[in-house]
Amino acid sequence: MKRLIRYTLVLLLFAGALVFGNAGILHGLMPDTVAAEAATLKLNKKKVTLEKGGTYKLKIKGMPEGAKLVKYKSGKKSVAKVGKKTGTITAVSAGKATVSAVIRLADGTTKTLKCKVTVKTPNAGNTGDTGNTADTGSSPAGNDTGAPAESGKTDDPAAGEQPVSAEKDFVYTAGMYIDNMDDIHAAEKYCAEHLLNLECVIPEDFLDELHGNLRGLFRKISTQVNSSFSTGSEAGTWEVSITPDYNISYMAERALIDPEVADNAGEDTLKYAKEAKRMTDEAIKGKKTLKDKIIACHDYLIDHFSYDTSGGPNSHSIVGFIESGKAVCDGYAMTFKMMLEYIGVDAEPVTGPGHMWLRFLYDGEWKYADVTYDETLTVHDGKLSRKYITDKSGNFLGEKEFYAVGHMEESN
């Protein structure tokens, strides 16, 4: 009898070993396996020194099965740019920057690899060196000659004319000379990303074109633009100073996801950025996969806040949540966007008649969500709603599926 019991126990242990041993095969890699493989990930260089205009291609080594590159990104684009998918670093101006490679592992978590980039200016001891790239055709205000640089020209005759491009190695410096709309666009984008005022010197005959386009340029990111024009110190030029009134959600988001711009943020902006970080960390605590973290941020906003039926003055941003625990649709959308950007998910607002919601990039595709609609259903039904972020199987909603469940159409 004892022998029979002993044999039975052995068989049960053997069967258990088969079941649990195969669990890793049936359900993918075990967490310890993923962590062990992630430890092998590295870049081919941890430190790179380049001269301005130089390039270097980063490569990822030890990529485990099931993992894939999300993107490369630069912490300081004014110093070094990097191709999102190629990993090619381009040195822009003297200084230091950190270039990161974000990798999504098989279990949905992400790992970030970093490379420190130092950019040096050739012939830095030459007092005639302006420190500006030749491609932009820009020179600082108040240069030795007092004359604007010829746009699109280089000092090397063999190089010929170079096209002025808002995307190619643009470097903004306060008070720089600009004479074309491409570079104004690039300067506006740079200042917006770094929470700076736009200050430049322009030729007099460019004034009307610039003045006619300023509000259109800044409306994309800010709510108002206050501009003042005065005669410049050089004949035929104007000094332009533009102070954009960025909305608090945008400023807090920039300070939250890019610590390098926090120095330019005000006390209130830093306060709300800090609170957004705390909220997100609390929401995603214990969540392992990126999908679970996104859903957790959605649920957190519904669980902790409510819709502001009074439409208070702060209800259109994260300020309403922090100050009163209430906000309206754009407060929900922009706070959700901020939380997603903080965990590494690209997101952008979508609007319809009198309403705002969100779409976010997940696994290479745009997915849609409306926290406000789910908040309304949650209050109405008395149970948490995810109707406007996932389907019945728990999959995120693509554009077609999102509007098929009864959501209003977006405006162009």
| pLDDT-flagged residues of the chain (< 50) | 1-31, 124-168, 217-225
Q: What is the radius of gyration, based on Cα positions, of the chain? A: 26
Q: How far is residue 372's CA from residue 335's CA, in Å, rounded to a whole number?
A: 11
Residue found under tokens 């709510």:
223
Rounded to 10 deg, the angle between the 267-284 and 248-257 helix axes is 60
> Can you tell me whether residue 134 is helix, strand or coil?
helix
Torsion, CA 104, CA 256, CA 48, CA 69, rounded to 10: 10
Q: What's the predicted TM-score (pTM) here?
A: 0.51
Chain centroid offset of residue 306 CA: 27
Q: CATH number of the domain at 139-148+166-246, please? A: 3.30.110
Residue among 246, 243, 250, 247 at smallest CA distance from 229: 243
| Distances, alpha carbon 237 to alpha carbons 145, 164, 178, 204, 209, in Å | 13, 20, 10, 5, 14
The count of other CB atoms within 10 Å of the CB of residue 249 is 23
Q: How far is residue 223's CA from residue 312's CA, in Å, rounded to a whole number?
A: 18
Please check whether residue 218 is in contact with residue 196, taking contact to mean a CB–CB distance below 8 angstroms: no
pLDDT tens readout for residues 225-260: 455 555 555 557 777 777 777 777 777 777 777 777
CATH 3.10.620.30 fits 267-404, yes or no: yes
pLDDT tens readout for residues 10-45: 333 333 433 333 333 333 444 455 566 667 788 888
Q: What is the pLDDT of residue 404?
A: 94
Q: What is the pLDDT of residue 159?
A: 34
Class of domain 41-120: mainly beta
State the greatest distance between any 2 C-alpha atoms of the chain, in Å, as a whole number: 109
Please check whether residue 80 is in contact with residue 119, taking contact to mean a CB–CB distance below 8 angstroms: yes
Instruction: Give the N- to C-terminal CA distance of the chain in Å, as an integer.
Output: 79
Q: What is the pLDDT of residue 35?
A: 61
Q: What is the pLDDT of residue 1?
A: 43
Q: What is the pLDDT of residue 9?
A: 33
Q: How far is residue 202's CA from residue 187's CA, in Å, rounded to a whole number?
A: 13
Q: What is the pLDDT of residue 62?
A: 82
Q: Which amino acid is at 186?
A: A
* Residue 71: both structure tokens together: 């993107």
> Can you tell me whether residue 310 is helix, strand or coil?
coil
